[in-house]
Structure 1
Amino acid sequence: MPKKITTSDISLSLGISRNTVSKALNDHPSITVETKRKVIEQAIAMGYKKIKPSVSGQPPETAGKLKSIAYITKHQLHHGIGFWMNVMSGVEQILSSNGYEMKISFIKDEDIQSLALPAVLTNNDIDGFIVAGSMVKPYTDKLMELPMPKVFININPEFSLSGLQADVVFMENEDSVYRITRHLIAAGHSSIGFIGDISSCRSFMERWFGFQRAHFDTDRSVDPAYCILAPSPDGYQQYEGLARSLKELRSLPTAFVCVNDKIAIHVIRYANETGKSVPQDIAVSGFDQIEEASLLGFTLTTVANDELQLGLRATEQLLQRLNKPDRAFETIRLATSVVFGESTSSSNQRMTERMTDQVADTR
């Protein structure tokens, strides 16, 4: 594959500084017309791709075609606006630094139901695309059929990762929830529930796997009567719907493991409204470490991840795929870290923490 030409290559060939080359390519007024002409001519001759038509003097159709990547996401994501804005920021950061334009397309529910692909994917003017967030299998199948390079950030759990003809990027899920569940079991919780629409995305399903494995490894059985797993139109992200599901349980367990912080916050609200305290009466954990959890008045046990890195890594993977289309497809999981907070601490743990603080205060 031909070597990508950079401003450093142009500066070396002309014997001038890279800063001068950069200013000439950007039509900076401090650079003479003659120097600009030499830089532009040399850049074109060497095959440099980032020359603006207005600078080169060429009409748009003969100038280097701007490369484009599509960013595809659902019109309404229930994960949290801040999360996906950070992911998108990571995508844009890598694309802009590599000379690509990002074309964003929001897919509506009616488009998904009718299997209608956005025009950006069918008009043949993009080099590849990123799908942010899991979509139903039939629509994902339509996306899979497109011949251009693609990377999924999360994916529907009905897809087997074995033999998948696409790259997928996740946060680590199973081990983090496994650790939290083992922590709750060690703290003496005999009834632990799990909340999340595990049919909606692979990440939630893997968190469910971690919850189950923790029970299996401690010779315990998961009690389905304490779990809320059924498909939900809003993924249990709206309080009213989740409150109804909690009310339908025969009784509340002593702890809940939730697939994300937003659900955990709803559970804590429900506990408060029904006269229960967290963690005295019920322990609650989440996932994602969202900013809203800082308003609880106590720390939430959760899993910290970096959404910006998720966007960066997915985009890096797509650019690698563009350069090496025949390489083996990859499933990539970025590291996470469990953050144990007060929402799952036992009375013994809290007493120890208070005593430690008191001792520290007397020093």
Structure 2
Amino acid sequence: MEKITMKDIADALNISRVTVSKAFNNQAGVSETLRELIFAKAKELGYAKIPYQIREQPQEEQRTISLIVSRPDSALFWTNIIHRMAQELANYNVNLLYTYVPSVYTKTFSLPSVLLNGSVDGVIVLNVYDPEILNMVNELSVPKVFLDTIPTLTDSQLSGDLVLIEGFRTEAKITDILIQNGHTEIGFLGDIDYAMTNKERYLGYCDCMNKHELVVRSEYCLTGRIDIFSYGRKLHTFLDELQSWPSAFVCASDYVANFVQSYLDNNSHRLPHPVVLTGFDNTGEYTNVAGRIITANVPTALLGKRLALQLLFRSEHPEAPQELTFIKPSIIIPHIKQ
């Protein structure tokens, strides 16, 4: 086997031998990026005279974090969070491992072995709302960060940090804007048992209505359990059965508002007067409501970064008190026709 020379390295990278020599001798005139390329190529070719400090430089151990998520075909809202989370973890040489769980628990389900055999150094839980599955994840012994939870599994019961998108005050403010615009008959639409964030939004709506001494009319509210894949049908049936109409609906999310707007557009003959909608999340993917309704803008990219940094902190400081963090969205108000 022929001896590898600096010229071989230079030829492989289409650079001069002088540049290779400067890199090995730590001389000026070679960028850090090119220097790393030269060292990598030298190792690849088996060059015998790599500087000792380069040859023996230990590599930082890569850690693995599991992202536990359901519904891999999720909405843009979730994918934006995940993308930014992965970017931030990569900055710290942390690999993000996607671990999918079903939306609904069955008796045959068990957590994937990767979560149980010590392969991961921590978990971030996203878009998982089944009580049985959440409880199974909650029992894992690794550091954990949850984005949202269910009303029956509160922060005091979780064995990890909880990040919530603030909803009580934000939804109260959105409801107050409707009232200031002259609306007094206002309904609420959204499954409040599905997620803590939905419950908080409903409570904020109720609080504002009560402060203005307005009645929360149950016939204008759909708050019971709704399967995530049945929203369109359930909302259509609910709206079909209305005997009278409010002048506005506060919707738990833009996702909900999009189904309601679709119904309104297709059944305008049933409306005795215009009906205003509000949403939450501002994902922009539901074109029939994007830019047309009051909504709360959740900074998904920053939220993804925040989750990543929280898990890194928890991994390094497992003894620190558990944290409950609220991310405050901003309210977006388009021009609304009265």
Summarize deviations over 1:267-324 as a string: whole Å, max 9, x none. 1121122226999611101111122344559622111111122211111101101100
Q: Does the 8 Å contact 2:245/2:271 carry over to 1?
A: no
2:150 and 2:195 in contact (8 A); partners too: yes
Task: Classify the secondary structure of the residue corresponding to 1:169.
Answer: strand
Provide the residue aligned with 1:34 in structure 2. Answer: 49
User: 1:253·1:282 contact (CA, 8 Å) conserved in 2?
Assistant: yes
Checking the alignment, whether the CA contact within 8 Å between 1:112 and 1:139 is kept in structure 2 is no
The answer on whether the counterparts of 2:65 and 2:94 sit within 8 Å (CA) in structure 1 is: yes
Contact 1:304 1:336 in 2 (8 A): yes
1:95–1:304 CA distance, 2 compared to 1 (3 A): same
Call closer, same or farther: CA 1:290–1:298 in 2, change over 3 Å. Answer: closer
- Asked whether the 8 Å contact 1:131–1:152 carries over to 2, the reply is yes
SS of the counterpart of 1:135?
Answer: coil
Q: Does the 8 Å contact 2:103/2:130 carry over to 1?
A: no
Partner of 1:60: none
* Residue of structure 2 equivalent to 1:87: 81
Aligned to 1:310: 303
How far did 1:175 drift? Answer: 1.6
Where 1:291 maps in the other structure, the secondary structure is coil
Question: Match of 1:358?
Answer: none
The question of whether the paired residues in 1 share the 8 Å contact of 2:163 and 2:326 is answered with yes
Give secondary structure in 2 for the equivalent of 1:34: coil
CA gap 1:185/1:127 in 2 versus in 1, 3 angstroms: same
Label 1:302 to 1:320 Cα distance change in 2 as closer, same or farther (>3 A): same
| Structure-2 change in CA distance of 1:337 and 1:34 (3 Å) | same
Does residue 191 (structure 1) correspond to residue 191 (structure 2)? The answer is no
Question: Structure 2 CA distance, aligned partners of 1:25 and 1:68?
Answer: 29
Deviations 1:28-71 (A, max 9, x none): 46997634553131x22xxx41xxxxxxxxxxxxxx5x321111
Q: Give the conservation status (yes or no) of the 8 Å contact 2:105–2:130.
A: no
The percentage of aligned residue pairs carrying the same residue is 25
The AA in structure 1 aligned to 2:153 is F
**In 1: Cα distance, 2:294 partner to 2:107 partner:** 37
Higher helix proportion: 1
Aligned mate of 2:169, from 164, 175, 188: 175
Tell me how far 1:156 sits from its aligned partner: 1.0
Could you tell me which residue of structure 1 aligns to residue 224 of structure 2?
Answer: 230
Instruction: Specify the SS of the correspondent of 2:261.
Output: helix
Larger Rg: 2
- Say whether 1:319 aligns with 2:312: yes
Q: What is the letter of the counterpart of residue 309 of structure 1?
A: L
* Letter in structure 2 aligned against 1:169: V
Q: Could you tell me how far 1:24 is from its partner in structure 2?
A: 6.2
Helix, strand or coil at the partner of 1:292: coil
Instruction: Tell me the equivalent position of 2:32.
Output: 19
The residue type paired with residue 283 of structure 1 is: V
Higher mean C-alpha deviation, range 23-32 or range 152-161: 23-32
Aligned residue among 247, 252, 256 for 1:263: 256
One-letter amino acid of the counterpart of residue 183, structure 1: I
Question: Structure 2 matches for 1:20-99, cutoff 5 A?
Answer: 23=36, 27-28=40-41, 34-35=49-50, 37-41=52-56, 43-44=57-58, 48-49=59-60, 64=61, 66-75=62-71, 80-99=74-93
Q: Which amino acid aligns with 1:327?
A: A
Counterparts of 2:272 and 2:289 in 1: how far apart (Å)? 12
Give the total of aligned pairs: 310
Determine the C-alpha separation between the residues in 1 that align with 2:305 and 2:152: 26
Select which of 289, 295, 299 maps to 2:292: 299
Q: Which of 214, 217, 222 does residue 220 from structure 1 map onto?
A: 214
Deviates more, 1:192-201 or 1:268-277: 268-277
Say whether the 8 Å CA contact 1:301–1:340 is kept in structure 2.
yes
Give the 3-state SS of the residue equivalent to 2:49 in structure 1: helix
Please state whether the residue corresponding to 2:314 is helix, strand or coil: helix
Task: Classify 1:305/1:73 alpha carbon distance in 2 versus 1 (closer, same or farther; 3 Å).
Answer: same
Q: 1:331 to 1:195 in 2, by over 3 A?
A: same
Cα 1:277/1:133, change in 2 over 3 Å? same
Say which SS state the counterpart of residue 171 (structure 2) adopts.
Answer: helix
1:235 positional shift = 6.2
AA matched with 1:40: R
Q: Is 2:121 the partner of 1:127? A: yes
TM-score calculated relative to the size of structure 2: 0.82
User: 2: CA distance between counterparts of 1:92 and 1:26?
Assistant: 28
Unaligned runs of 5+ in 2: 1-24
Counterpart AA for 2:83: S
Moved more, 105-114 or 31-40: 31-40
Q: Secondary structure at the match of 2:310?
A: helix
